């Protein structure tokens, strides 16, 4: 349970780095480091564990900073692979259909061109209008800081 708790705590730090006003340029590097910690915490927890269903949030937040398209650093590509495989395994084991939306959104983030976003974080390029629609945000029940900022800016 403590590994899951640590992953949750670190996910919140990534969210903070994405939403808080920028104070220093190293935020994206720190978020990448935290992403690695989240993956290492969750790697050893079996998919059949009673806590595995709660791993969607930390997996999403860890994956949300792994930008760079297909040419990304090998360590980033390896983390993406773990996150993708873990989400597929949780979906298969638990039957949680919303995981498909999480996985789809992460794939979009991973393949999008980079832009410097709010908070000095490297973020994905333009978001398709359908994803910015606040009704879709509520239906998907995803907390995506980029989408929330764009939806609130309208």
Buried b (16+ CB within 10 A) or exposed e, 59-76: bbbbbbbbbbeeebeeeb
Q: List, in order, residues 6 or more apart from 81 with CB less than 8 Å away.
A: none
Residue spans of the domains in the chain: they are 2-153
**What is the reported pLDDT for 139?**
39
Give pLDDT tens digits along the chain (154 positions). Answer: 699 999 999 999 998 888 876 665 457 888 899 999 999 999 999 999 989 889 999 999 999 999 887 777 889 999 999 999 999 999 999 988 899 999 999 999 898 866 544 333 444 444 444 443 333 444 344 455 555 555 555 5
SS3 122: strand
Residue 127 neighbours by CB under 8 Å, 6+ apart: 146, 147, 150
In this structure, what token pair is assigned to residue 101? 């939306």
Enter the pTM of the model: 0.73
Residue identified by tokens 């996910």 is 11
What is the dihedral angle through the alpha carbons of 42, 47, 52, 53, rounded to the nearest 10 degrees?
140
Measured CA to CA in angstroms, residue 59 lies from 8, 37, 133 at distances of 9, 11, 24
């Amino acid at each position: 349970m403590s590994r899951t708790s640590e992953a949750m705590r670190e996910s919140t730090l990534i969210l903070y780095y994405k939403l808080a006003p920028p104070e220093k340029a190293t935020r994206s590097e720190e978020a990448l480091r935290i992403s690695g910690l989240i993956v290492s915490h969750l790697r050893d927890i079996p998919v059949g564990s009673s806590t595995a269903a709660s791993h969607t949030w930390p997996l999403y937040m860890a994956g949300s900073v792994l930008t760079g398209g297909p040419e990304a650093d090998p360590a980033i590509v390896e983390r993406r692979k773990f996150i993708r495989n873990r989400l597929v395994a949780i979906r298969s084991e638990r039957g949680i259909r919303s995981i498909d939306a999480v996985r789809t959104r992460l794939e979009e983030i991973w393949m999008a061109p980079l832009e410097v976003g709010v908070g000095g974080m490297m973020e994905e390029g333009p978001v398709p209008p359908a994803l910015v629609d606040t009704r879709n945000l509520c239906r998907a029940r995803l907390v995506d800081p980029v989408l929330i900022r764009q939806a609130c800016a309208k």
